[in-house]
Amino acid sequence: MDNKYHTLGQWIDVLRDTGEVLDVKGVHWNHEMGILTQLARRQRQGPALLFDQITDHKEGYRVLVNTLGSTRRLAHTLRLGDVSGYRDLVDKWKAKWKGLVPIPPRLVEKAPVKENTRLGGEVDLSLFPAPFWHDEDGGRYIGTGCVVILKDPETGWVNLGTYRVQLQGKNEVTVYIGSSHHGSIIRRKYLDEGKPCPVAIVLGQDPVVFLSASSLGVPPNRSEYDFAGGIKGEAITVFAGEMTGLPLPAEAEVILEGHFQPDKRRTEGPFGEFTGYYGSGQRDEPCVDVQAVYYRSQPIVLGSPPTRPPNESTFVHSILKSASLEEELKGMGIPGILGAWSHEAGAAQMFVALSIKQQYPGHAKQVLVAASNCYSVMHSKLVIVVDEDVDITNLDDLMWAVCTRIEPSVDVDILRRVPSSILDPAVPHGQPAFTSRMLIDATRPYERRDTFAPAITIDKEAETKVRERWGHLLRMNQ
């Protein structure tokens, strides 16, 4: 596939030819689009859906969902070439990330996204589809696969993040940002002093910019633009916003620009979140006065609403967090770590499995404790370590090891009062976001590793020969 694309539309054209993107016409924005999105995202390796002719909206005002929900689309976006599966995708991404050279954005005068510009009283956000994604949402959310751009008033650091954006009126939106996120820290520096906070919200963009803002874990005080450029191998082009001066992606589809007002708040939420529950309830959140809108004549809004796992978001995070966790652990100098996997069943954040080759007494416990304290999976609740003969990406294989190799009173430990998230439904409302972590050593006991009951296996060479001769009977080769 051709990786030399610059716009979301070009990304779609390349992948539509491979069957990875399907066109859907005539869907209703009220629940129907949300239900279809959830069904597509539950389907492993399911297609991206491009909605057009949406009820109450002009033809050509489109929404793209499940953008990165397959290995092929994710690998294409990360410029990794062809991949053979999850493990290959993790390994190729780790290799690229290690050698990644960030490329700062390039300022340009002309921006395709300014094909249409509405300022001040001309702003009308009802032009763009804002779906009602989940049954119990508190309203319509125009931003889910969006990128929110803020600039630190003290350092000039330009930060890109992905947060949920609720439509509040023809020129007003709220942006929910968790208190620990960089965007919230920057916003508070303005609002706490009673000053308007400049902000831009990009509703549709090159998926690599979305990935950089939402999933890569870019270090503080480094701009996500630089890492997106490094992945692409060329600078992201930006222009200066007319209302804020913020650097905005020139090749975007739709951009809202304005200010959080210190004395203006609107009721936000609830909203279906990444845990599979309606997270954080309903409260007043700072409101953005949208003072400018830039958009293409046939704009595409990127939709990535959280749903019950597994889904597009958990798939992406399972790949990227697994790669980050492996690198964190190996950076500690612990030997014998063969792999890590952040399972989608735990929203790719709460359930971690590790594979090791045991080398000394206590090795498994050392890996468990180290992994449970890694930043890339700081919200984990369940951490399991297994021997090298167990496929950590396969839940059946993993739980087989747990059920047959542990003695619960010996091999299970609990770490208490560790960090959680306010969106975790198990955290009591209004209480500090603490949780506990269960550490399970599902390796063969070190002192019995050579005498433990042998597991049933199939010789790899013999299996290959049987597949070649008889695989057609059970569709083994598919």
Residue ranges of domains in the chain? 8-303, 312-464
**pLDDT score, position 60:** 96
**Before 310, cis peptide (omega within 30)?**
yes
**pLDDT score, position 478:** 43
Fold designation for 8-303: Pnp Oxidase; Chain A (2.30.110)
What single DSSP character describes residue 132? B
Strands 300-303 and 62-65, how do they pair?
parallel
CB 213 within 8 A of CB 162: yes
**Which class does domain 312-464 fall in?**
alpha beta
- pLDDT tens, per residue, the chain with 478 residues: 556 778 999 999 999 988 999 999 999 999 899 999 988 888 878 899 999 999 999 999 999 999 999 999 999 999 999 998 888 999 999 999 889 999 999 999 999 999 999 999 999 999 999 999 999 999 999 999 999 999 999 999 999 999 999 999 999 999 999 887 899 999 999 999 999 999 999 999 999 999 999 888 788 889 999 999 999 999 999 999 999 999 999 999 999 999 999 999 999 999 998 888 887 789 999 999 999 999 999 999 999 998 888 888 888 989 988 998 998 898 899 999 999 999 988 888 899 999 999 999 999 999 999 999 888 888 899 999 999 999 999 999 999 999 999 999 999 999 999 888 877 888 887 788 888 999 999 999 999 999 999 999 888 899 899 988 888 887 654 4
CB 68 within 8 A of CB 207: yes
**Before 270, cis peptide (omega within 30)?**
yes
Distance of CA 207 to the CA centre of its chain: 11
**pLDDT score, position 475:** 66
- Coil/strand/helix, residue 208: helix
Q: Determine the Cα–Cα distance for residues 308 and 37; give it in Å rounded to an integer.
A: 12
Q: Determine the Cα–Cα distance for residues 105 and 111; give it in Å rounded to an integer.
A: 14
**pLDDT score, position 299:** 97
